[in-house]
Structure 1
Amino acid sequence: MREQIVERFCREDVRDLSLTQAFYKLLDENKEYWCSLSTLYRLFRARGLNARRAPTRKARLRSRPTAYSAEKPNEVWTWDITYLRSSTYTGWFYYAYVIVDVYSRMVVSARVFDADNADFAVRFLGDAFRKYGIRPGQLVVHSDNGASMKAAPTMALLEKNGIIFSHSRPRVSNDNPYSESFFRTLKYSGDCLYPRDGFNSVEEAEQWVQSFVEHYNEHHRHRGIRMVTPGQRYRCEDAEVLRRRRETMLEARRNHPERWIGDSVLNCTPIGRVWLNPENGQLEEKRLPGAA
């Protein structure tokens, strides 16, 4: 049985995924339950097969964000900009502008430009507000203290649209973990390998980012939302996905009780409210004139 489990998780349909992603993919899409996730990792460790399937970097200590909460999509967004290396010129970069919906972890908008500046920031944010029909007072937009984020044209756009805006606390190097988490996945995930040699053009970078975002939103199962995809969570499909997952687990336990120790199954309760960490002090908040 153990060799069957290892063989199944080395097949072509899941071999490029992490064990965790493969476990939930088979559970949700194929209704295949072979063993617990801890047992799966133990089997792979015993055979020397559990090396990371993607490059990584050493984790950094990150400061927690301050308090804001979201109970549904499009209540709290975080946005940030990350550089993408050019393959043509040393020291030349393209810039990915990305908005993450905190409630669902879905990337609601992503674009690549050839500069990090307020003009592109205004165009990028304005397009997102129009696309999602954002109303005055509806949305909190959180960012770090980058020049493009705090530039006068950017702030004027937020004020015009009645956005409640917040920035990372002074002298805190990273207070925007949702965006940082996505960028880490983008550059270090094994799902869609990041081109280490860079991109030939801004158009090529844009195409790759859009492809990655589609995969991330619809296929990447996220730990922070009970291992459903961001797209499922955004569309409020997560409760049904988790209900079916629980049924699969219970059926597997009935059919193969020898694989279980005790009566527990995976936690399939949907995640509720999501916080930008209420344990810290007050968020640096500015409620704009006329905002509800």
Structure 2
Amino acid sequence: MLRSEEFVDMAPAEIYAVLLDRGVYLCSEATMYRILRRNGEVRERRRQATHPPRKKPEPVAEAPNRVWSWDITKLKGPVKGSYYCLYTIIDIYSRYTTGWMLAAFENKELAEQFLSATIAEYGIEQGQLTIHSDRGSPMVAENVAQMMSNLGITKSHSRPKTSNDNPYSESQYKTLKYRHDFPDRFGCVEDARAWCERFFDWYNLEHRHSGIAMHTPFDVHFGLAEQLREMRADVLAGVYAKHPERFVRKAPEPPKLPAAAWINKPGEPRPDDPTIPAQG
């Protein structure tokens, strides 16, 4: 009776009461618990579905326009409960924001239009690009997946409840919301759009990013970074020639651009990776 379809989800106290209402007494509530304990079924009697661990996403980019990460964040509107949705796409190699859009809400149709327009703007060829995202409803929508398939785009998704699988978008949103002039609320959508315009101009054109050897995303994305690194090297070489005593170990040189950018670098799992067994 305890395993029956009718009672499998009920606690013994509830089963006991239902049976009594029908004029039926099989045993006490305590006996029901004793039977369940004997069979190891005190916690759950329904057969449980098991899911194998999802594969860790490992897209890698060795040049711009190879892997993009996209996400949606909310910006507070003028009154409590109102907000605007900021859609963004960031190139993980260059950190360049290839596209952004502010909308009153998030849905799969807007997501498809936003992504397809950005892909078209950069002349992406079949098989060239992977687009990574978390598992929000617009990200896993069928129309978005179909659009990417039609354009030859590879899609990649974070594992459930694993925010670090989408680190580039998360990091950019943190930079955005910790800017000195980021307001607690925006007065209207036009205010929010104007602020975002200023932010993304600064982020792409002026922000020296530590992950790309202190270059701007624009310089890396459009192939100017190596020339600028050579200019930096010339300056440092001139200083070293005049004052070698100021450099104890070796001649100074500017940092090099990383050869590649990863989401979950292969062979280097993070300590918070849910697929890693706990120690101790």
The two structures share one fold, judged by TM-score above 0.5? yes
Say if 2:57 is the partner of 1:70.
no
Report what 1:107 is aligned to: 97
Q: Is the 8 A contact 1:68 1:278 kept in 2?
A: no
- Whichever of the two has the greater Rg, that structure is 2
What's the counterpart of residue 178 of structure 1? 168
The 3 A distance-change label for structure 1 pair 160 and 280 is farther
Alignment partner of 2:225 out of 234, 238, 243: 238
CA distance in 2, matches of 1:156, 1:200: 37
CA contact (8 A) 2:209 2:217 kept: yes
Counterpart selection for 2:71 from 58, 80, 89: 80
Gaps of 5+ in 2: 1-55, 270-280
Which residue number in structure 2 is paired with residue 254 of structure 1?
A: 241
Task: Supply the distance in 2 between the matched residues of 1:269 and 1:195 (Cα, whole angstroms).
Answer: 36
**d(CA) in 2 for partners of 1:203, 1:237:** 33
Cα drift, residue 81 of structure 1 = 0.6
Contact 2:60 2:262 in 1 (8 A): yes
TM-score by length of 2: 0.71
Verify the 8 A CA contact 1:95 1:116 in the aligned structure 2: yes
Distance in 2 between the 1:120 and 1:270 partners?
35
- Is the 2:85–2:105 Cα contact (8 Å) retained in structure 1? yes
Task: Name the TM-score, length of structure 1 as normaliser.
Answer: 0.68
Partner residue of 1:287?
none
User: Aligned partner of 1:224: which letter?
Assistant: G
Q: Secondary structure at the match of 1:99?
A: strand
- Matched residues in 2 for 1:202 and 1:126: separation? 23
Instruction: Structure 1 unaligned segments of length 5 or more: list them.
Output: 1-64, 282-292
1:194 is aligned to: 182
Shift of 1:280: 5.7
**Partner letter of residue 270 of structure 1?**
L
Q: Report the aligned-residue RMSD.
A: 1.8
Paired residue secondary structure (1:77) = strand
One-letter code of the match for 1:119? E
Aligned residues: 213
**Larger RCO (CA within 8 A; separation ≥ 6):** 1
SS class of match (1:148): coil
Note the C-alpha offset of 1:184: 1.0
Residue of 191, 195, 209 corresponding to 1:222 = 209
SS in 2 for 1:179: helix
Partner of 1:208: 195
